[in-house]
Structure 1
Amino acid sequence: MSKHGKRIENAREAVERTKLYPLDEAVKLVKTGAKAKFDETVELALNLGVDPKHADQMVRGVVNLPNGTGRTLRVAVFARGAKADEAKEAGADIVGAEDLVAAVQGGTIDFDRCIATPDLMPLVGRLGKVLGPRGLMPNPKVGTVTMDVASAVAASKGGAVEFRVEKAGIVQGSVGKTSFGEEKLAENIVAFVDAVVKAKPAGAKGTYLQRVALSSTMGPGVKVDPATIAVAQH
């Protein structure tokens, strides 16, 4: 077995698979279990008591992580005129209208987040089949269809993370890097969980926040006791 494999195996052995760890302990385990030579991303997975096939049980939103994500997002903005200038001044990486639509249709998607002014949505709508599957389609519910492009760009650059429930009732998101301090990671996790709890749909019945798991890119998954995450259970 390679050294790389041994390191990962040892990290897995340090985690009891069935145990629910308090949040602070889980964060410690994820940090110590990150053995890769790069700064691993910390991922959070929440199992929710919802069935996304029903429209009244859809969960989606955006959360501003207090300590950022640890990565610099490339932001594209669909805007014209003064709004295009505003986006550039706010630090958008790519700004355009028809030219940007043509580039995306041609297969050039050199961005991680996409923002549009409402007047350009009929144009951007043509890109649904390209941007939709990648989770990049601008949406007013998460603040990416807006006239306030400067604020949207700043939020995206500063640690705004979009979340959306998947088929199995799971919400996943990045909450930082393993180089972050334990407190900063814990603060980001609490903020993410809180946002998902606040997005609880009217149609959700029974226990909403069912399971919580934390992992790093290459490290083992650690189950977190939901009761130790101090958020207001709605």
Structure 2
Amino acid sequence: MLPLPLALRYLRAAEVGWPEKSSTIELHLRVKREKRSIPLKGSVKLPLPAKPHLRICAIAEGDAADVARKSGATMVGSNDIIEKILQGQVKFDICIAHIDSFPLLEKIAKVPGAKRWMPSAKKGTVCSEIGDVINMTANR
């Protein structure tokens, strides 16, 4: 067993060179409580937000595809991306489609698991201003 400050120092030294999203700190505390006492609960405010890196797929053509690339989408395309999705070659966290490319999505509507990530106007992932939606999604 190490004292908490020393353990945190070792953890910080060990995580150098690893991606930010892979660091996990787990504490096991032994607390002696008296009878009828309130259980120990709490939270810690981290100095920086721990947000994951999102892999954003943008389905767009032409100028909208260029805007999506500049806004930070991980992968951008139309028919080529849809074919890769049908073959199961593409992995992403969220899919955003330009309103002009929405009819292309009919091909992948029946893919198992598509309901989870399929773009829809109700979710706000089918839009005409694709750059704004990608920026808002990436910075949430």
Give the length in aligned residue pairs: 108
TM-score, reference length from structure 1: 0.40
2:82 maps to 101
Aligned pair 1:80/2:61, yes or no? Answer: yes
The runs of at least 4 consecutive aligned structure 1 residues that moved more than 4 Å come to 7-11, 131-134
- For residues 92 and 125 of structure 2, what CA distance do their matches in structure 1 show? 14
Distance 1:74 1:131, change over 3 A: farther
Aligned pair 1:136/2:117, yes or no? Answer: yes
Between 76-85 and 116-125, the greater mean CA deviation after superposition: 116-125
Q: CA deviation at 1:8?
A: 7.8
Distance 1:110 1:78, change over 3 A: same
Paired residue type of 2:131: A
- For residues 104 and 132 of structure 1, what CA distance do their matches in structure 2 show? 11
CA deviation string 1:63-101 (max 9, x = no partner): xxxx86611101010000000000001111100011000
Unaligned runs of 5+ in 2: 1-25
TM-score, reference length from structure 2: 0.63
Identity of aligned residues (%): 28
- For residues 68 and 99 of structure 1, what CA distance do their matches in structure 2 show? 35
Unaligned runs of 5+ in 1: 1-6, 32-66, 160-234
- For residues 108 and 9 of structure 1, what CA distance do their matches in structure 2 show? 40
CA deviation string 1:175-228 (max 9, x = no partner): xxxxxxxxxxxxxxxxxxxxxxxxxxxxxxxxxxxxxxxxxxxxxxxxxxxxxx
- For residues 102 and 89 of structure 1, what CA distance do their matches in structure 2 show? 23
2:130 aligned to which of 146, 149, 171: 149
Aligned pair 1:123/2:90, yes or no? Answer: no
CA deviation string 1:16-46 (max 9, x = no partner): xxx8x9xxx85x25x5xxxxxxxxxxxxxxx
Report the 3-state secondary structure (helix = DSSP H, G, I; strand = E; otherwise coil) of the residue aligned with 1:80.
coil
Question: Who wins on radius of gyration, i.e. which is larger?
Answer: 2
CA deviation string 1:88-132 (max 9, x = no partner): 011111000110000000102321110001222221122123375
1:89 maps to 70
